[in-house]
C-alpha cells in the first residue's frame, strides 16, 4: 500500500486540484469523483476507478470502509490522506472523506441505446454544469434511455456535473456529439425529435411523446440553435401563464420528461 499523504504540497494533491481545470482533465483523460453516493453509483455501474483517496476522519457514516474495499477489489489503488491535504483537494465545503480519480469513459453516440421505443433527452450547449447534472438526475428518474449533450459548452466530466447528477452520470447512458451529427444519428434510428422553444404554438401535452422520442432543449441563454429548430420533427412549447417567460433549462427538461412519463404510462 502506498504511504499515507500528510502534506498539502504532495504532488498527488496538486494533481487533484489541477483536475478542476478542464484543460488538465482533457489533457490527462481523467476526472474526479467525490462523495460517497457518487462513488457508490460509479462502483455499481462498473466505472473503472484508478485511485481512491480516503480520509477516514471525515467519514459521515459507517458504509465508507466497505465501499473502499469493494473499489480496491475492483482494482483501484487506495491512498489514505490526512485531513488538511484532503480538504485542499476536495471541491466541497463539507468533504465526506472520499475522492477518486477515474479515466474518462467513452461518450460516443452509440452509447445511447435507440432500439425499441427509447426516450432520449438532448441538451444543446448547456453552460452550467449544475444544470447538466440536474438534467442527468431527472432523466434517470424519468427512466430515460439516455442523455445526449449536443455541442456541449460544459464537459460531462466537470466535477459539478458529477455532483449535481448525484452520480447518475454513471447510470444513465450519456453521449456527446456535434448538433448535425446528433440530429442525423437520431433521424437514421427513426427517433422523432421534439424541440422545445418559447416561441412555438403547440403545448407539450398536445405533442405525441409515445414511441421512439428525443426531447431537445436549448441553452440557458440562447435557447435552441436554428440548426436544431430546422432539424426537429416538431417544435413544442411549455405554456407559461405567468408574467415571466423564461424558465431554468433543467426545469424545462424535467417538465418535458415527466410529460413523456405521463403519456407513456397511459400507453401501457
If 0-12 CB within 10 Å is exposed, 13-18 middle and 19+ buried, where does residue 24 land?
A: middle
Interface with its own copies, residue 79, by CB under 8 A: no
Closest to 142 measured CA to CA, from 116, 158, 118: 118
Q: Are 81 and 5 in contact (CB under 8 A)?
A: yes
Residue among 5 and 126 whose Cβ is closer to its own copies? 126
The interface region with its own copies, picked from 54-62, 133-141, 153-161, 212-220 by CB under 8 A, is 133-141
Q: How far is the CB of 249 from its own copies (least distance, A)?
A: 12
Residue among 7 and 202 whose Cβ is closer to its own copies? 202
CA distance 154 to 97: 26
Residue among 27 and 92 whose Cβ is closer to its own copies? 92
Closest to 200 measured CA to CA, from 183, 179, 217: 217
Q: How far is the CB of 216 from its own copies (least distance, A)?
A: 18
Cα–Cα distances in Å, from 183 out to 51, 109, 120, 180, 189?
A: 37, 11, 12, 5, 10
Q: How many residues bind its own copies (CB under 8 A)?
A: 35
Interface with its own copies, residue 131, by CB under 8 A: no
The interface region with its own copies, picked from 6-14, 121-129, 228-236, 250-258 by CB under 8 A, is 250-258
Q: Estimate the crossing angle of helix 36-44 against helix 64-73, to 10 degrees.
A: 40
Q: How many CB atoms lie within 10 A of CB 149?
A: 25
CA distance 196 to 223: 9
Residue among 84 and 258 whose Cβ is closer to its own copies? 258
Q: How far is the CB of 244 from its own copies (least distance, A)?
A: 5
CA distance 221 to 127: 8
| Residue of 2, 50, 205, 221 that binds its own copies (CB under 8 A) | 205
Interface with its own copies, residue 153, by CB under 8 A: no
Interface with its own copies, residue 203, by CB under 8 A: yes
CA distance 40 to 42: 5
Interface with its own copies, residue 265, by CB under 8 A: yes
Residue among 3 and 245 whose Cβ is closer to its own copies? 245
Residue among 27 and 262 whose Cβ is closer to its own copies? 262
**Interface map 158-197 toward its own copies (x if CB under 8 A):** --------x-x--xx-------------------------
Within positions 37 to 56, which residues make up the interface with its own copies, using CB under 8 A? none
Positions touching its own copies (CB under 8 A) are 134, 137-144, 166, 168, 171-172, 203, 205, 238-248, 250-251, 254-255, 258-259, 261-262, 265
Amino acid at each position: 500500500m502506498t504511504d499515507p499523504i500528510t502534506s498539502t504540497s504532495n504532488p498527488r494533491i496538486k494533481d487533484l486540484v489541477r483536475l478542476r481545470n478542464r484543460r488538465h482533465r482533457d489533457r490527462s483523460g481523467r476526472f474526479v469523483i467525490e462523495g460517497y453516493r457518487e462513488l457508490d453509483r460509479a462502483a455499481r455501474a462498473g466505472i473503472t476507478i484508478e485511485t481512491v483517496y480516503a480520509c477516514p476522519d471525515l467519514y459521515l457514516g459507517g458504509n465508507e470502509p466497505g465501499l473502499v474495499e469493494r473499489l480496491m477489489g475492483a482494482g483501484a489503488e487506495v491512498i489514505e490522506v490526512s485531513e488538511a491535504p484532503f480538504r485542499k483537494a476536495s471541491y466541497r465545503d463539507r468533504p465526506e472523506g472520499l475522492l477518486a480519480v477515474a479515466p474518462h469513459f467513452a461518450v460516443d453516440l452509440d452509447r445511447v441505446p435507440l432500439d425499441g421505443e427509447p426516450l432520449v433527452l438532448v441538451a444543446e450547449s448547456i453552460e452550467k454544469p449544475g444544470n447538466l447534472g440536474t438534467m442527468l438526475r431527472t432523466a434517470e428518474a424519468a427512466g430515460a434511455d439516455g442523455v445526449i449533450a449536443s455541442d456541449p459548452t460544459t464537459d460531462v466530466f466537470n466535477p459539478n456535473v458529477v455532483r449535481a447528477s448525484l452520480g447518475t452520470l454513471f447510470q444513465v447512458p450519456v453521449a456527446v456529439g456535434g448538433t448535425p451529427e446528433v440530429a442525423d444519428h437520431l433521424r437514421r434510428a427513426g427517433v422523432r425529435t421534439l424541440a422545445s422553444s418559447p416561441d412555438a404554438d403547440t403545448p407539450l401535452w398536445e405533442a405525441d411523446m409515445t414511441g421512439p422520442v428525443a426531447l431537445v432543449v436549448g441553452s440557458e441563454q440562447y435557447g435552441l440553435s436554428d440548426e436544431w429548430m430546422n432539424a426537429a420533427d416538431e417544435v413544442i412549447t411549455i405554456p407559461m401563464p405567468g408574467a415571466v417567460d423564461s424558465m431554468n433549462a433543467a426545469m424545462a427538461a424535467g417538465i418535458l420528461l415527466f410529460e413523456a412519463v405521463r403519456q407513456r404510462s397511459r400507453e401501457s
